[in-house]
Amino acid sequence: MICEKTKFEELYTFRHACKIFCKKKKIPQEDMNAILEAGRMAPSSFGMEGWKFLVIQNDELKEQLRPLCWNQAQITTCSHLVVLLCAISSLRVESGVPQRRFQRRKLPKEQEEAYIKRYEAFLKEEAPDDEKLFAWSAKQTYLAAMQMMLAAANMEIDSCPIEGFEREKVEKFLKIDPKEYRVALLLPFGYRIYPQTEHLRLNFDEVVEFLE
Ligand SMILES: Cc1cc2nc3c(=O)[nH]c(=O)nc-3n(C[C@H](O)[C@H](O)[C@H](O)COP(=O)(O)O)c2cc1C
């Protein structure tokens, strides 16, 4: 076992949606890089890695963003605010990017072409327009977000995934072209000032069903 079972339980128990961080405590760069690295290493459908992580430390920027994020205190009290962008245009086959992702696998040409065809057909079916592509692309970034939150918990760093924001306004403020990228999720990191809240969860049997 890589990590003791009880240790892993400690990790996901430590993580909670932290509502307010200690404004004075800054995350060391090395730890922040380890969190971002965990995100970079996350899995993505077809291995597309259609994401980008913007890291905001500047207090003025955070202050300006807060009203666009339901005025949530996490935005201005966190040490580092990570804005998870999900790719749009570069995921389309016409961009040439998917081919480059597949080429890394160094597959025989035929197999590579078959992969591209499969991918193209998948996108045609699942994401024929930018809205659907956004939905698919955003899903990938959520996996990166979870991996980052666990990496942070491992260093006793708190986090809070944030979907409560006005996406178009945030994109405009950050000068993001929605044809290229969209904001999928905001992820502030820092250190708690209050004891963590209780994890409210359904019972195991309500959530899990073993099929015979
Ligand atoms: C995708 C996503 C978006 C969320 N958005 C917000 C948010 O905008 N503000 C907030 O305070 N919490 C947000 N949360 C946190 C949840 O409310 C929280 O995870 C849930 O209530 C369970 O609490 P716990 O994580 O502390 O166990 C979000 C969680 C997820 C997964």
pLDDT tens digit string along 29-68? 999 999 999 999 999 999 999 999 999 999 999 999 999 9
Where would I find the H helices in 15-95?
Answer: 29-40, 59-65, 73-77
CA distance 198 to 174: 34
Q: How is residue 59 written in tokens?
A: 């207090």
β-pair partners for 55:
82
Q: Does residue 3 carry a pLDDT above 90? A: no
Mutation pick for ligand 1 pocket among 21, 74, 160 (CB with most ligand atoms within 8 Å): 160
How far is ligand 1, taken at its centre, from the CA of residue 66, in Å? Answer: 17
Closest CA to 115 of 124, 105, 129, 128: 105
Task: Give the CATH architecture of domain 16-90+134-197.
Answer: 3-Layer(aba) Sandwich (3.40)
Cα torsion angle, 11, 14, 19, 22, sign: negative
75: Cα separation from own chain's centroid: 16
CB 125 within 8 A of CB 80: no
Residue nearest to atom 9 of ligand 1 (CA): 162
- Each residue of 5-19: pLDDT tens digit? 888 999 999 999 999
Ligand 1: atom nearest CA of 17 is 26
Tokens 């996901």 identify what position? Answer: 12
**Residue 42 CB coordination number (10 Å):** 17
Higher pLDDT, 183 or 197: 183
**Model pLDDT, residue 84:** 98
Which of 76, 88, 65 is CA-nearest to residue 171? 65
Q: What is the pLDDT of residues 120-138, one digit of tens each?
A: 999 999 999 999 999 999 9
3-class SS of residue 184: strand
**What does the pLDDT read at residue 6?**
84
Query: Is the pTM of the predicted complex or chain greater than 0.75?
Result: yes
Ligand 1: residue whose CA is nearest its atom 7: 162
Question: Picking from 1-15, 42-56, 71-85, 189-203, which range would have the lowest pLDDT averaged per residue?
Answer: 1-15
